[in-house]
Amino acid sequence: MNSLNFNIDNGYLEGLVRGFKGGILKQTDYLNLIQCETLEDLKLHLQSTDYGNFLANEASPLQVSVIDDKLKEKLVIEFQHMRNQSVTPLATFLDYITYSYMIDNIVLLITGTLHQRAISELIPKCHPLGSFEQMEALHIASTPAELYNAVLVDTPLASYFIDCISEQDLDELNIEIIRNALYKAYLEDFYKFCQTLGDSTGAYMSDALAFEADRRAFIITINSFGTELPKDDRAKLYPRCGKLFPDGLAALARADDYEQVRAVAEYYSEYRVLFEESSNNPGEKTLEDKFFEYEVMLMKKAFLDQFHFGIFYAYVKLKEQESRNIIWIAECVAQRHRAKIDSYIPIF
C-alpha cells in the first residue's frame, strides 16, 4: 500500500473519511455546548454542526440516553457506508475495528444472561458496530466450552477463544477475565495484521495499538488491586504488543500498589508524564483522563500522513471520544451540576 496504488481501491474512502473528520466538533462548538441550559438548547446547538437534525424526530422531553443512541447511530451509519464501499485489505481492516465492539457485546450478553435477563432486552443494548449473526443464540450456553462450540466458532472471534475455554464456569470474575483475554488476543492479532499492510499503515498502527496495549496493562493492574485475582493470572492478561513488553509487563505483574505501578511507568517517557500529571485528588485530572488525552493526540497524528489506513481507525476513536464528550456535557446540563462541565477532552 504505497502512494502509487493506494488510490485505486481506497482513494474515495480516504477522501470521505477526511470529510467526516472535518465535521468533528471544534473547540468553539464545545464552548457553545457548555453554555446550554437545557437539553433542548444542546439539540439546537448540535443542529448547526455536522450532526444536523439527527434529534429532530425524538419526542420531547429529550433524555441523555436517547442522545447517546442517536450519536452512536450516526457513527454506525457512516462506518457501515465505508465498510460497504471498501475492498480487501481495507475491508478486513475495518472488520478488525469492529471486533472490539463484538467482544464488548458478547460479554454484555453473557453477563445479562447470568443475571437472568431476557435476550430480547439485552440485544438493543449492544453496540451496533459489533453485531454478528449469532448474537441471539448466546443465552443457551452455560460454560465457556459450550459457548464456544455452539455459538462462537462461526464468528470471526473464534480464534481468540483458544485461551479462554479452559475456564470452568461462567461467573462474574471469570467474565471479566474472559473479556480481557479476548481483548488481548484481538489486539495481538490486529497488530500482526497491520504489520502485513505496509509501511505507513504498519508504522502508524504499531504506535496506536502499542499505546492501547500498554494502557490496558496499566488499567488491568490498577483495577486488580484489592480483588482476588492472582498475579500470574493477571500477567496472562497483558497484551504483548506494546512498549512495555517484556520488561515493563514483568514489572507490572509483580506490582502490589499504585506507587509500584507509577515506578514502572517512570521508565517510559510518555507514560511517566501521564502519571505525573494525574492524581486522584478532586481538582485534577485522573489517570483515565490523561490516557484519553494522549489517545486523542495520537489519533490526530494519523491525519498528517496520506495513503494509509490509520485514518479510519483514528476516525472511529475520535468520534467515540466526541460522543463521550457530548454525553458528559449533556449529563452535566440535565442534572444541572455544572461544576465539572468543562472536563471534556478537547479534540480539535
Partner 1 sequence: MASVLTPVYIVLTMALAAFLILSFYYTLTDQGYRYNIGWLLQDTSPYMWANLGIGLGISLSVVGAAWGIFTTGSSILGGGVKAPRIRTKNLVSIIFCEAVAIYGIIMAIVISNQETVFNPQKWSEAERYQLSSQNHHAGYSMFGAGLTVGFSNLFCGICVGIVGSGAALADAQNSSLFVKILIVEIFGSAIGLFGVIISILQVTHAKMGDK
- Using CA atoms, how far residue 240 sits from 236, 303, 322, in Å, is 10, 26, 29
Cell readout for 22 is 472535518
- Residue with smaller CB distance to partner 1, 109 or 296: 296
Q: Are 249 and 238 in contact (CB under 8 A)?
A: yes
Cell 489519533: give the residue: 299
CA separation for the pair 186, 97 (Å, rounded): 10
Q: Are 287 and 311 in contact (CB under 8 A)?
A: no
Q: Is 75 in the site for partner 1 (CB under 8 A)?
A: no
Q: Is 48 in the site for partner 1 (CB under 8 A)?
A: no
Q: Are 335 and 42 in contact (CB under 8 A)?
A: no
Q: Is 23 in the site for partner 1 (CB under 8 A)?
A: yes
Give Cα 200 to chain centroid, integer Å. 22
Site for partner 1 in 102-121 (CB under 8 A): none
- Give the residue from 103, 104, 84 showing the smallest Cα distance to 94: 84
Q: Is 14 in the site for partner 1 (CB under 8 A)?
A: yes
Cell 457506508: give the residue: 81
The CA-to-CA distance between both ends of the chain, in Å, stands at 28
Site for partner 1 in 222-251 (CB under 8 A): none
- Residue with smaller CB distance to partner 1, 22 or 230: 22
Interface size with partner 1, residues (CB under 8 A): 18
Q: Are 333 and 38 in contact (CB under 8 A)?
A: yes
Residues 6+ apart with CB under 8 A from 282: none
Report the residue from 1, 4, 121, 197 that binds partner 1 according to the rule CB under 8 A: 4
CA separation for the pair 71, 220 (Å, rounded): 29
Query: Stretches 12-20, 52-60, 218-226, 264-272: which one binds partner 1 (CB under 8 A)?
Result: 12-20
Q: Is 89 in the site for partner 1 (CB under 8 A)?
A: no
Report CA torsion sign: 241, 247, 250, 251.
negative
Query: Stretches 18-26, 162-170, 178-186, 223-231: which one binds partner 1 (CB under 8 A)?
Result: 18-26
Query: Stretches 8-16, 179-187, 281-289, 321-329: which one binds partner 1 (CB under 8 A)?
Result: 8-16
Nearest-approach distance from CB 348 to partner 1, in angstroms? 11
Nearest-approach distance from CB 307 to partner 1, in angstroms? 8
Q: Is 3 in the site for partner 1 (CB under 8 A)?
A: yes
Q: Is 198 in the site for partner 1 (CB under 8 A)?
A: no
Q: In degrees, to the nearest 5, what angle opens at C-alpha 251 toward C-alphas 245 and 252?
A: 85
Nearest-approach distance from CB 316 to partner 1, in angstroms? 17
Query: Stretches 19-27, 106-114, 165-173, 219-227: which one binds partner 1 (CB under 8 A)?
Result: 19-27
- Residue with smaller CB distance to partner 1, 1 or 122: 1
DSSP, collapsed to helix, strand or coil, labels residue 94 as: helix
Nearest-approach distance from CB 155 to partner 1, in angstroms? 24
Site for partner 1 in 304-343 (CB under 8 A): 306
Under the rule (CB under 8 A), what is the footprint of partner 1?
3-4, 7-8, 11-20, 22-23, 196, 306
